Amino acid sequence: MEPSLHQRLTHWRRHLHAHPGLTLHEGATAAFVVEKLRELGVAEITPGVGGHGVVATLRRGDGSNRAVGLRADMDALPIQESNTALPWASTIPGVMHACGHDGHTTALLGAAKLLLDDPSWSGTVQLVFQPAEEGGGGARAMIADGLFQRFPMERIFGWHNWPGLPVGTIAVHDRAVMAAGARFDIAFEGHSGHAALPHMTRDPMLGLGHAIVALQSIISRGVDPLASGVVSVTIARAGEAQNQIAGRAELMGTARWLDESVGDFIEHRIREVAAGVAATFGLSAQAGFRRGVAVTANSPAERELAAAAAAAVAPLRRDLAPAMTGEDFSWFLAEVPGAFVWIGNGPAEGGRELHNAGYDFCDDVLPVASGFLAEAARRALAG
């Protein structure tokens, strides 16, 4: 990549970091993407796909109907940026790009430029700028809006920056890359009363405490140690006054797995725990389990294509285990074959982890990421 393009992309990335668009509120980001695509000379741009999604189409050659998709996510997180002291720190209170989607979006713009300047390829490239990846269902919304019918593609490729992997190193997994996931909640209803007269109440706080302990045993005592699963209670709410036993207590959390049978087991056990704890303490319980993303799993042929494209532009790793994080890209892979890779963002210590309030995307990754996407598209169209 020419240094002038890298500098241009860095400026764009830092603008996006300073002006993040929260999940389902990416209108300004989408408008920025459209503006820069036009500035680059892209003629076919379709905004408003599945919400704030944008699809740009590049065509070249003899009318070949070969087509490939390249995807980037655009949304930010409801996190207050802190401890960065960056000139390009978020200007939106309570919202920041703590997962690097600003870098993903910018890298896809860079890939567009590389492909526009390269006369060697023939076919169609669909550039998919996806909204609402962070739990907002953006991939499924784009699919429901006819993404693959309106913008046909034979295969699709994407990536995620990865703290803890050296800057620019690309990791390609044999199959599973990231886990499937769900969000769960349990509400215990009891009978409120005076804290000094507990015998006249039915204490839902007691149920909440026992449920937290029981939920932590689902994986450790119910799932094969050679399998993978995570159950994490992340929110607990109860009580309004210090001298009152509350009438309602709620807990919420997430579950992750790499095998669907494990996911089914986790859901079954969460519902059993809720019902059993409620019966034990004379409460009633309602349990919800909402599945989010599927397992992000590479297709064999596309995995090998991605590895070849990666090796052409950067150091390649093929020995990393999958992560229990989730990725909306999984729904695209349920529709067409594809591959999803990690590209190193540098050290993960000291607040540089994903979803940390001190995180920032490393701009030195941009040439590698743009180069990988462009090279994957060339190889997909040639193959």
Of 246, 272, 291, the one marking the end of a domain is: 291
Under the phi-then-psi rule, with left for phi > 0, alpha for psi from -120 to 50, and beta for the rest, what region is 241?
beta
Q: What does DSSP assign to residue 130?
A: E
Average pLDDT value for the chain: 96
82 and 110 in one domain?
A: yes
More confident residue, 63 or 207: 207
Structurally, how many domains does the chain consist of?
Answer: 2
Question: Which class for 165: exposed (0-12), middle (13-18), buried (19 or more C-beta within 10 A)?
Answer: buried
**Could you please report the per-residue DSSP string of 132-182?**
--SSS-HHHHHHHTTHHHHS--SEEEEEEEETTS-TT-EE--SSEEE-EEE
311 and 254 in one domain?
A: no
pLDDT confidence of residue 63: 59
pLDDT confidence of residue 8: 98
- pLDDT band with cut points at 50, 70 and 90 for residue 349: confident
281 and 157 in one domain?
A: no
The residue count of the chain comes to 383
243 and 363 in one domain?
A: no
Q: Report d(CA 222, CA 101) in Å as an integer.
A: 36
User: CATH code at 228?
Assistant: 3.30.70.360
299 and 168 in one domain?
A: yes
235 and 154 in one domain?
A: no
Backbone phi and psi for residue 12, each to the nearest 5 degrees, phi listed first: -65, -45
Q: What is the pLDDT of residues 42-86, one digit of tens each?
A: 999 999 999 999 999 999 987 567 999 999 999 999 999 997 889
121 and 36 in one domain?
A: yes
Over pLDDT 90: what percentage of the chain? 96
What is the distance in angstroms between the CA of the first residue and the CA of the last residue of the chain? 24
Question: Residue 234 above 70 pLDDT?
Answer: yes
Q: What is the pLDDT of residues 310-346, one digit of tens each?
A: 999 999 999 999 999 999 999 999 999 999 999 999 9
Of 274, 291, 308, the one marking the end of a domain is: 291
Q: Report d(CA 64, CA 118) in Å as an integer.
A: 17
Global confidence as pTM: 0.92
* Range 145-171 average pLDDT: 98
Q: What is the pLDDT of residues 162-202, one digit of tens each?
A: 999 999 999 999 999 999 999 999 999 999 999 999 999 99
The token duo for 265 is 């087991």
Q: What does DSSP assign to residue 120?
A: T
pLDDT confidence of residue 64: 67
User: CATH code at 105?
Assistant: 3.40.630.10
377 and 310 in one domain?
A: yes
Closest CA relative to residue 51, chosen from 140, 127, 135:
140
Of 223, 258, 291, the one marking the end of a domain is: 291
Provide the residue range defining the domain that includes 8.
3-178+295-382
260 and 215 in one domain?
A: yes
